[in-house]
Amino acid sequence: MIRLNIRIDTSVIEGKVIEATEKAQFALDQQVLKDSNFYIPKDTGELERSSIRFSRPGEGHIEWNTPYARRVYYNPQYNFSQDVNPNAQGLWFEEAKARHVMDWARIVENEIKRNL
C-alpha cells in the first residue's frame, strides 16, 4: 500500500488569484470606458475628459461627471449633434454593453488566465 501526503500552500494560490482578478478588473474598466466613450455626445469633449478624470480603473468605478452628464445620458430622445461623433447618443453605456458584453467577458477570462 502506498501512502501519499500532499500539502498545499493556499496562501500562494490565493495571492495569485487576487492579483489576477485585480488585473482583470483594471483591463475590464479600461475597455468599458473606451467602448462607452465611443457613443458619447461630443461638443467640447469635456464629457469624455470627465470620464477619464473621475473613473477609477481597477475599482469597478466608471463615472461621467459634468453638470449635464445625467441629463444627456437619460434622454436618448435628444437630437444629438453627430458632427464631432457620428455615434453620439444617450444611454451610451447601455449601447456599449449591448454591443460588447461578450468581448468584455472574453477580456476578463483571458486576463485571468494570463495571470494565473
List per-residue pLDDT tens for the chain, 116 residues long.
789 888 888 888 899 999 999 999 999 999 999 999 999 999 999 999 999 999 999 999 999 999 999 999 999 899 999 999 999 999 999 999 999 999 999 999 999 999 98
Q: What pTM was computed for the model?
A: 0.88
User: Which residues have CB under 8 Å from 90's CB, separation 6+?
Assistant: 41, 72, 73, 74, 75, 76, 77, 78, 80
Domain boundaries, the chain: 10-115
Count other Cβ atoms within 10 Å, centred on residue 37.
21
Q: Could you read off the pLDDT of 25-51 as tens digits, one per residue?
A: 999 999 999 999 999 999 999 999 999
Tell me how many degrees the CA angle 30-34-36 measures, rounded to the nearest 5.
115
